[in-house]
Structure 1
Amino acid sequence: MPRSALPGLLRDPDFGRLFAATALGQLGDRITFLALPLVAVTALRADAFQVGLLAAMASVGSLLVGLPAGAWVDRMRKRSVMISTDLVRATALATVPVLWWADRLTVLGLYAIALIHGVLTVFFDVAYVSYLPHLVGRGRLVEGNAKLSAVRSATSIGGPALAGPLVGLVGAPVTLLASAAGLAASGLFALTIRTRERKPEPGDRPRLGREIAEGLTFTLRHPALRAIALGDALFNLSLAVYLSMLPVFLEREVGLRPFGIGLILSGMGCGALVGALLAKTLSERLGHGSVIWLASLVTCPSTVLMPMARPGWSVYVAAIGLAALSLGGVVRFVAQSSVQQALTPDRLLGRMSATSRFVSWGGIPVGGLLGGASGSVCGAAGALWIGAVGMTLSVLPTFLSPLRAMRTPPPQAFPSRADRPRGGAADRVQGV
């Protein structure tokens, strides 16, 4: 297709490279999302609590390095962080099949790999969110977030649909080679982006504690940013409870094989893709703030269909509820990411992102443990009920905040470099 025929930001070569890197990296991540717990469930025969602990190890990085990651990323070029974390995560995942072939893979080893992958993902995500305003400008953040969410949603369909048959054909450990290949390709595509940031210039005596405190103060004192973080915290805690036991419920109580589980997760991806296509229009018509809480209120209750499912057609009806959850999640994500980025000055983008992630994602490892514990006590279906109720209640912080009436973020006082006139070579800094 001629570049002039491409829609909007896709005409920008560097955004196109970021778009391609996102597609490949997310494809690898979605395969990991299905294959990693199935390594524990099918290859190592882990029990419910061990599967929940694996989910906790994969996400505990948000607690371990969530706050300092923002301060560190604000001192570095975001693109460089994205490239290096992609390549090291690919290497870590590739060790799973190597250990499996050598008959050395254990549950403890899988925990260690999940922890390394999760810590590096924190740095990648903080850099990724902070990099977009530099690349496209704040005036096009909604479009940029919507397009990147669309490709992430498309890979949410293709990833599980590919991973399910692969797990059935070659086993879950070997399937992680496809995850590693996707992440490595993502890093290589990001390496080809030509527009570079200037390396941030540190103050006279940069102090990590002071920088972290500045990010915390800015984010948690801002009513809209604080409400987004708290709503996400409750949602992600409850989602972690739900997702930690979903593979167990589908495999052991519903009797689905990996291919069927992959179809369920692909259905979630279909909902996410529809959400990405609708996100910009819904934000413009209903208002950015209203969309954030309405999306959760309308779609989260549908998750109660899954724990009521039984072997047969009812599980695929329940999958529609999960697709609705994904649709609402992406609509909410696009709106709130654009609000967060628009309300934050450039120099604080990394710390805002890290603080929001620390607050909102910090409960995910706790949710994984709670999921495993509740699954052991109440069964996998009971854990799904707990998660569904919690996700529905997560609407309260944003509904009770100024976001309820916010149609668009306030006029931007913090223009990014991409919004300023490009005066020549000085605006394109070479180097990684």
Structure 2
Amino acid sequence: MMSGMGLLAVRDFRHLWAADVISQLGTGLSQLAVPLLAISVLDASAFEVSLLRVGQMIAFLVIGLQVGVWCDRLRCRPLLVVADLGRAVALLSVPVAALLGVLALWQLYAVVLVTGTLTVVFDIAHPSYLPRLVDREHLVEANTRLEQNRSVAAVAAPTLAGWLVQWVGAPVALLVDACTYLWSALWLRTIRTPEPRPPHVEDRRMWREVREGLGAVSGHPVLRAFGGHGATMSLFQSAHMAVVVVFLVRDVGLSPGVIGLLGSVGLLGALSAAALTGRLTRRFGGARVLVVGGVGCGAAFLAYPLTTSGWGLGWYVLATFGASFGIICLSILQVSYQQAVCPPHLLGRVNATMRVLIWGAIPLGSLLGGGLATVLGARGAITTAAFGVLLSSAWLVLSPLRGMREL
């Protein structure tokens, strides 16, 4: 029986949560530290910075669906541990190269490619492992707890990363990130609950199993809407992310510390969403919250291009608050719904299909952002991306969710 702490009173979930909370913080550090390192140390152009984002996410397109099959065939916890250890080693190479004075842009591309590949394994295995550790009636609480970690990291990481880069340099920030992955691997190793081995089925064929996962998503009207919305939003959000640091440094004229502080203040929306999603769902219904959240998130992006120096920075804070609130709210409800409706033998492939649709759009969006910035400038690129994010909500508005109250 759980106490007032809920799932955190359960030892093994608490260890999963402890692994996740610091790992999320470290990931947030590198999201800002890597482009700042490329801009400030290696003098990368806007397009070269966008290629770093491509390298981080291209593996979702290449191996994402296959990883989903592996997660249905294998135990997931060993995959999580190996992915953490591999990412730690790759990131440690950056401060070592910087210390030796041999750091180059090609190495940074190699590091983000390796860490991105291992992140594919981790991000698909993690939601597939959770229902093997937690009973289905506790999945919404479990996902809310994990999204709270993501929210806290989203608030704390930009400020921490900005000041680390400004005072001790971006390579040190990546060293800290590597240590967080080691922390995560150690906590995951301490989980005691035995993970059942998936049943062995003879004559398994990779692409037949991949098609089963694709069919489970495309044949389900709500999952299909989630996938279409996620892919379209991810395309334009990644175009925004690929150039927004360049925009803030070169167009608005901000220092790394101020950029990090702005991101942390704005991302209080993520914390608010993690705290309020359950209440909003009980009050208005999960389907309604999803539709309104999708439209509101897109509308928030329209405030980003209004950002200027001085008081005009308030537009950036407002946009980040609204966008992060919507993204976390959508994530909690969508992931919980997937885990609840999917048969256990298909969950890995459904998670993989969703991840490929959403994360696989990121390298394409990053190239789009770099191209738009080259032609229209950074402000023009984030303006175009904002309208694209808003239009992505049509997938939800025109789906069966429109006539539903509950999921």
Give the TM-score normalised by the residue count of structure 2.
0.97
2:85 and 2:182 in contact (8 A); partners too: yes
* Contact 1:155–1:269 (8 Å) recurs in 2: no
Q: 2:44 aligns with which of 21, 43, 46?
A: 46
Partner of 1:138: 136
Measure how far apart 1:4 and its partner are.
7.2
Distance 2:388 2:5 in 1: 39
Match of 1:210 among 208, 211, 214: 208
2-structure distance, mates of 1:212, 1:291: 31
Q: Take 1:143 and 1:355, find their aligned partners in 2: how far apart are those partners?
A: 24
Give runs of aligned pairs for residues 343-382 of structure 1, distance below 5 A.
Answer: 343-382=341-380
The match for 2:88 is 90
State how 1:77-226 maps to structure 2 within 5 Å. 77-226=75-224
Q: Is the 8 A contact 1:55 1:365 kept in 2?
A: yes
Conservation of the 8 A alpha-carbon contact between 1:303 and 1:318: no
Task: Judge conservation of contact 2:306–2:315 (CA < 8 Å) in 1.
Answer: no
Q: Is the 8 A contact 2:273 2:325 kept in 1?
A: yes
* Equivalent pairs, count: 407
In 1, Cα distance between equivalents of 2:133 and 2:30: 28
3-state SS of 1:60 partner: helix
Tell me the equivalent position of 2:386: 388
Q: Which amino acid aligns with 2:298?
A: C
Q: Secondary structure at the match of 2:267?
A: helix
Name the amino acid aligned to 2:17: F
Q: Is the 8 A contact 1:288 1:336 kept in 2?
A: no
In structure 2, give the amino acid aligned to 1:139.
E
Is 1:29–2:27 an aligned residue pair? yes
Q: Which amino acid aligns with 2:257?
A: F
Q: 1:207-232: CA deviations, max 9, x gaps?
A: 11111111111111111111100000
C-alpha contact 2:88 2:182 (8 A) present in aligned 1: yes
- The percent of aligned pairs where both chains have the same amino acid is 41
CA offsets 1:170-189 (integer angstroms, 9 cap, x no match)? 11122100111111101111
Q: Partner of 2:306: helix, strand, or coil?
A: coil
The corresponding residue for 2:325 is 327
Deviations 1:392-411 (A, max 9, x none): 111111211122234444xx
Find out whether 1:284 has 2:293 as its counterpart: no
Per-residue deviation, 1:6: 4.5
Instruction: Give the drift of 1:68.
Output: 0.5
- Other-structure match for 2:57: 59
User: Residue 16 of structure 1 corresponds to which residue in structure 2?
Assistant: 14
One-letter amino acid of the counterpart of residue 261, structure 2: L
Q: Distance in 2 between matches of 1:264 and 1:76?
A: 42
Provide, for residues 367-394 of structure 1, a one-character-per-residue CA deviation record: whole Å limited to 9, x for no partner.
0011111111111101110111111111
TM-score, normalised relative to structure 1: 0.92
* Contiguous gaps of at least 5 residues in structure 1: 410-432
Aligned 1:224-235 pairs, distance under 5 A = 224-235=222-233
- The equivalent of 1:298 in structure 2 is 296
Query: 1:97, 1:251 → 2: CA distance?
Result: 23
Paired residue for 2:67? 69
Please tell me whether the aligned partners of residues 156 and 268 of structure 1 are also in contact (alpha carbons under 8 angstroms).
no
SS of 1:261 mapped into structure 2? helix
- Superposition deviation, residue 90 in structure 1: 1.1
- Cα deviations by residue, 1:92-139 (Å, 9 ceiling, x for unpaired): 111111111222222121111111111111110111111111211111
Find the aligned partners of 2:359 and 2:237 in 1 and give their Cα distance. 11
Provide the aligned C-alpha RMSD in A: 1.4
Classify the secondary structure of the residue corresponding to 1:197.
coil
Match of 1:238 in 2: 236
How far does the alpha carbon of each residue in 1:125-156 deviate from its partner, in whole angstroms, 9 at most, with x for none? 11111111121111111111111111110111
Q: Which residue of 2 aligns with 1:269?
A: 267
Gapped regions of structure 2 (runs ≥ 5): none
Q: Distance in 1 between matches of 2:403 and 2:177?
A: 42
Structure 1 counterpart of 2:68, one-letter code: G
